[in-house]
């Protein structure tokens, strides 16, 4: 078990190279989430296929979301190191394919590979951090990991614009290659996973296939419904019907299988169930704001894309700033009270959006987004760490992957519901965005919906168990932290 104390945590400590490799791997995913947005128009002009442009984003989201719970569980079965290196390798391959893509179709294929890599990197990196650091140490290491997202939120769009304007958009993907190599080299060299005792559990291929196929169709239906096809159209009905059948089959299989790919029984634990539910609702709030704050800033306030991006960046900056300090807070007052404070901040922030009107300033929008982001940082991170602290070493990956998968489902649901509200009140302009006199009224309905979601978040946070400290001490006594 690693020693505790200030000297043992940080980039210069014995485990520092492992932490740095996790930060580099996380940077791959964080940068890729923002860097491509400013170059999408340039890519479409060079490769053609402008109508396929949305697939650059949706295929990445689909691949990451669907693979996250599977890779999280496989990390418990096959080992963290193996799965982490596989994820980095997939991201490397996807970046190389995308960077050299001669057509839009090949570029989309590269994005799928990147999404699969991200689906492994994110849950496994969080799981490794939970393995090698105690709960107290994670209060400090979380600041390092959160800083990656803060820097990427600012640097990503800027790099995307610089590459597309002064060199080539291809460097948006090719720049990942040295980062992948460095992260993989450091992890392979410095991270020594503890030997596993006993026979390896069999891999539940049937369960993985049912979960992946059903989740893909569910997310596809939510993302494309109301855009590529009407909600009540035959394609929509077929996609959702098959998704429900596949996921129902997965649920039945999971209850009967001896070693399911995702054991749904873990959701019966109060802290895991609450944490997963919180993650789902966090996904609703975050992606709904990410989609409709820029539309409000441009369509109602009349700002340009750059100013609209600044308003949204306030949320992506507020989140990691508060997340980096969440550890100090939950060590003093506990997970439940920290989550209640965080969700209350999110409620205040969403309530502030109801005050936005056609004459509001961009600073008012940014202020509301910053408060919401700060609340999310005090909510998402502590609830996930609380769930991890209640999971054994052999199930921690599954708990982490399920939590992140819930957020992806929430994101798709949020965009679908809010999109249906906005589309019912507005018309679609030539650029594909909603417009018309009903836009402000529609956005007020969206903001009101987010207030309701924030209220549910406060209620869920209040249901977090209050006795995690005693359970944490019992975990520590049984060597819950694995050596690096």
- For 262-317, write each residue's pLDDT tens digit: 888 888 888 999 999 999 999 899 888 887 888 888 888 888 766 777 777 788 78
195 vs 239, more confident: 239
Instruction: Yes or no: say if 104 and 40 are a contact pair by the CB < 8 Å rule.
Output: no
Instruction: Yes or no: say if 95 and 172 are a contact pair by the CB < 8 Å rule.
Output: no
Q: What pTM, to 2 d.p., does this model score?
A: 0.82
Instruction: Yes or no: say if 422 and 434 are a contact pair by the CB < 8 Å rule.
Output: yes
- Spatial CA neighbour of 308 closest among 318, 298, 320: 298
For residue 458, pLDDT beyond 90: yes
Cα gap 230→132, rounded to integer Å: 48
**Across 460-483, average pLDDT:** 59
* Residue 465: band (very low, low, confident or very high) from pLDDT cuts 50, 70, 90: confident
Q: What is the mean pLDDT of the chain?
A: 83
Cα gap 242→443, rounded to integer Å: 32
> DSSP labels for 368-409?
HHHHHHHHHHHHHHHHHHHHHHTS-TTTHHHHHHHHHHHHHH
- Spatial CA neighbour of 208 closest among 439, 398, 42: 398
For residue 451, pLDDT beyond 80: yes
* Residue 185: band (very low, low, confident or very high) from pLDDT cuts 50, 70, 90: very high
**Across 186-206, average pLDDT:** 81
Residue with tokens 């997965």: 250
- For 319-365, write each residue's pLDDT tens digit: 888 888 888 888 888 899 999 999 999 999 999 999 998 888 989 99
352 vs 168, more confident: 352
């Amino acid at each position: 078990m690693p020693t505790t104390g200030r000297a043992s945590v940080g980039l210069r400590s014995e485990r520092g190279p492992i932490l740095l490799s996790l930060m580099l791997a996380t940077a791959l995913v964080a940068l890729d989430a923002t860097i491509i947005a400013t170059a999408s128009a340039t890519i479409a002009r060079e490769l053609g296929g402008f109508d396929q442009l949305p697939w650059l984003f949706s295929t990445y989201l689909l691949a990451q979301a669907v693979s996250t719970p599977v890779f999280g569980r496989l990390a418990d079965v096959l080992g963290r190191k193996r799965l982490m290196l596989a994820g980095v390798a997939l991201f490397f391959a996807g970046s190389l394919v995308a960077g050299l893509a001669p057509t839009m179709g090949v570029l989309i294929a590269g994005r799928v590979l990147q999404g699969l890599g991200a689906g492994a990197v994110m849950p496994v990196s969080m799981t490794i951090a939970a393995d090698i650091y105690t709960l107290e140490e994670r209060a400090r290491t979380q600041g390092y990991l959160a800083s990656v997202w803060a820097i990427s939120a600012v640097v990503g769009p800027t790099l995307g614009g610089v590459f597309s304007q002064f060199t080539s958009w291809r460097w948006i993907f090719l720049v990942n290659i040295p980062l992948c190599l460095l992260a993989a080299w450091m992890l392979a060299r410095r991270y020594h996973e503890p030997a596993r005792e006993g026979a390896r559990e069999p891999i539940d291929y049937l369960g993985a296939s049912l979960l992946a196929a059903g989740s893909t169709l569910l997310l596809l239906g939510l993302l494309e419904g109301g855009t590529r096809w009407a909600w009540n159209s035959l394609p929509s009905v077929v996609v959702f019907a098959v998704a429900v059948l596949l996921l129902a089959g997965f649920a039945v299989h999971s209850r009967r299988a001896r070693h399911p790919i995702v054991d749904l029984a873990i959701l019966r634990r109060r802290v895991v169930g609450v944490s997963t539910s919180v993650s789902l609702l966090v996904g609703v709030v975050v992606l709904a704001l990410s989609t409709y704050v820029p539309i409000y800033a441009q369509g109602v306030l009349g700002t340009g894309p750059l100013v609209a991006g600044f308003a949204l960046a306030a949320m992506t900056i507020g989140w990691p700033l508060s997340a980096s300090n969440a550890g100090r807070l939950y060590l003093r007052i506990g997970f439940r009270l920290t989550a209640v404070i965080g969700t209350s901040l999110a409620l205040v922030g969403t309530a502030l959006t109801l005050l936005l009107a056609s004459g509001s300033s961009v600073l008012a929008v940014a202020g509301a987004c910053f408060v919401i982001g700060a609340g999310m940082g005090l909510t998402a991170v502590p609830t996930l760490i609380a769930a991890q602290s209640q999971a054994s070493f052999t199930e921690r990956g599954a708990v982490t992957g399920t939590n992140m998968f819930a957020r992806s489902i929430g994101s798709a649901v949020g965009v679908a519901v809010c999109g249906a509200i906005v589309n019912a009140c507005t018309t679609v302009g030539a650029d594909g965005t909603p417009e018309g006199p009903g836009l402000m009224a529609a956005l007020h309905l969206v903001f009101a919906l987010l207030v309701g979601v924030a209220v549910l978040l406060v209620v869920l946070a209040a249901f977090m168990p209050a006795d995690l400290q005693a359970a944490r001490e019992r975990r520590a006594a049984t060597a819950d932290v694995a050596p690096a």
